Structure 1
Amino acid sequence: MENCGAYLDTLRRTAPLVQCITNFVAMNVMANVLLAAGASPAMVHDAEESAEFAGIAHVLTINMGTPSPRWIEGMVAAAEGAAAVGRPWVLDPVAVGATAFRRDLGARLLALKPAVIRGNASEILALAGAGARGKGADSADPVAAAEDGARRLAASSGAVVAVTGPVDFVTDGVRAFRCANGHALMPKVTALGCSLTGIVGAFVSGQPRLEATVAALAFFGLAGERAAHGAEGPGSFQVRFLDALHGLTAADLDRGARVEAA
């Protein structure tokens, strides 16, 4: 896919307001990642206001990482509020296959029609109703094993489905792309995967869902590659990663994106 940088340019020009319903671990990291990229994060999750705020935000992201009954009320209300005003929302089905509670929640959120679903291979397989070998929030399945399930899930749900891993796979059920950007240090920093969901949301706001999702993954992965240069380990990598997100230009992304049709 060409011109990934154009999607980054649009994000920075529009600075979309991204409503993030995410887990306790991810909030601070996710907010900083979105700010560094050029978006405007808002951590609004309570049911008393989440639906109303979804009508204000440009895009909504929902992460299932630390669900509770009250938070679930906020998730559902926000997804319904976004739908009422035609705003897209992104689902991150964290550990959806781990427990019956999470499986039921995943099915309930899927029925509310997310625009994009982003997860690891085990999460996508579980959400698609296939066998998965997830270990908590971590994947025990390779991305390649989830490609057929991702296509089926995209076709049945109407969502763009992104399976993230060493080489990401993204499909709308008809077209598909692979993105090979990234670095091995990225999974060593907690909440970076959750933060990627926020970046996908920021890119998707006002832009074609499939192409914008691919561009988001390439941008995030390329920042990881740049941050790894000179990093001594996960601690210094995390700081350098925020700087890399902030410093990457559209031209950098066009040159560095490793994306191909699948």
Structure 2
Amino acid sequence: MEDLYRHAHKLREVNPLVHCLTNQVVMQTTANVLLAAGASPAMLDAPEDAAAFAKNSSAVLVNTGTPHAAKYVASREAIRGAREAGVPWVLDPIGAGAPNAVGDFCSSILADKPDVISGNASEIVALAGMGDTARGVDATIDVDDALDAAISLAARTGGVVAVTGARDLTVSAGRSTWLTSGVPMLQQVIGTGCSLGALCAAYASLDMDPHDAVVTAHAHLGAAAQIAAETAHGPGSFAVAWLDAIAAVTPERMRELTSVEETR
């Protein structure tokens, strides 16, 4: 895993521009996480500018939290621009398992072949058409229960599918990686999961294997969470310490604090 984690330095050297169409609740958190990790965020969701901006970005994130009609249009335009320019794009299907129009929208853009799909177990299962197990935007099943759904989506899109949980799962054609990292307190701070989707986009823009890029993004935030938990007294102090740790964590610490199991 030495070569994998060394790419954490590469992100800061390249400073990719990530075009984020994301949840309004987490824009500031997501932007701060990208900056701390070494990327540049752009929170642009105007339909008239989305395609052109996507073409000139390093990667695009489509996060379906806080959906509305204009955002759906902007997301489609950004995806179109990304595909035309060969820019990788990431789908974070927030709320895909809930009984609303988000699931239909997410299903419709699967035809545009996201390079990465990153979500919780319930979202991944719902997106694969294998059930509806969400409670709002929260997962109600374990990551292990989403393995078949992740494999199905990876085969359908030709991309990488990540499932977040107590152990994170990353799946691509013929390959599955289980990563143990992070701490439970991540679930008590808003925007940690959404920020992960954005960091997946940042790493996906680098000249590295896309599967490894997604695993590294998870390891980066998970290792930082463990460092933050060492000094945090609660969710508030954890959020601040986590951001500091994202900026400071080294590949050596990432290797020390995470555990990887790979199958093919």
- TM-score by length of structure 2 reads 0.97
AA at the equivalent of 1:219: H
1:48 corresponds to: 48
> SS state of the match for residue 171, structure 1?
strand
1:214 and 2:215 matched: yes
2:140 corresponds to: 140
Structure 2, unaligned runs of 5 or more: none
> SS state of the match for residue 162, structure 1?
strand
CA contact (8 A) 2:98 2:132 kept: no
1:76 and 2:76 matched: yes
Q: Distance in 1 between matches of 2:226 and 2:168?
A: 15
Structure 1, unaligned runs of 5 or more: none
1:243 corresponds to: 244
Q: 1:67 offset after TM fit, Å?
A: 0.9
2:170 corresponds to: 170
Q: 1:5 offset after TM fit, Å?
A: 2.1
CA contact (8 A) 2:97 2:137 kept: no
> SS state of the match for residue 36, structure 1?
helix
Figure out how many residues of one structure are paired with residues of the other and give that number. 262
AA at the equivalent of 1:111: A
Q: CA RMSD in A?
A: 1.0
AA at the equivalent of 1:218: A
CA contact (8 A) 1:143 1:168 kept: yes
Q: Distance in 1 between matches of 2:78 and 2:240?
A: 32
CA contact (8 A) 1:21 1:43 kept: yes
Q: Distance in 2 between matches of 1:221 and 1:66?
A: 25
Which range moves more in the overlay, 44-53 or 95-104?
95-104
**The structure with more helix, counted as a fraction of residues:** 2
**Identical residues among aligned pairs (%):** 42
1:24 and 2:24 matched: yes
1:227 corresponds to: 228
1:63 and 2:63 matched: yes
Q: 1:100 offset after TM fit, Å?
A: 4.1
Q: Distance in 2 between matches of 1:191 and 1:110?
A: 24
CA contact (8 A) 2:64 2:92 kept: yes
AA at the equivalent of 1:78: A
Q: Distance in 1 between matches of 2:19 and 2:107?
A: 21
2:194 corresponds to: 194
CA contact (8 A) 2:158 2:172 kept: yes
Q: 1:4 offset after TM fit, Å?
A: 2.7
1:257 and 2:247 matched: no
AA at the equivalent of 1:245: I
1:35 corresponds to: 35
CA contact (8 A) 1:218 1:259 kept: no
Q: Distance in 2 between matches of 1:46 and 1:66?
A: 15
Which range moves more in the overlay, 168-177 or 118-127?
168-177
Q: Distance in 1 between matches of 2:54 and 2:135?
A: 32
Q: 1:6 offset after TM fit, Å?
A: 1.8
Q: Distance in 2 between matches of 1:169 and 1:82?
A: 26
Q: Distance in 2 between matches of 1:138 and 1:231?
A: 24
Q: Distance in 2 between matches of 1:141 and 1:255?
A: 29
1:151 and 2:151 matched: yes
After superposition, the C-alpha distances for 1:210-237 in whole angstroms (9 at most, x for unaligned) are: 0110111011100000000111110000
Q: Distance in 1 between matches of 2:149 and 2:226?
A: 29
- TM-score by length of structure 1 reads 0.97
User: Which stretches of structure 1, 4 residues or more, deviate above 4 A after TM superposition?
Assistant: none
CA contact (8 A) 1:153 1:173 kept: no
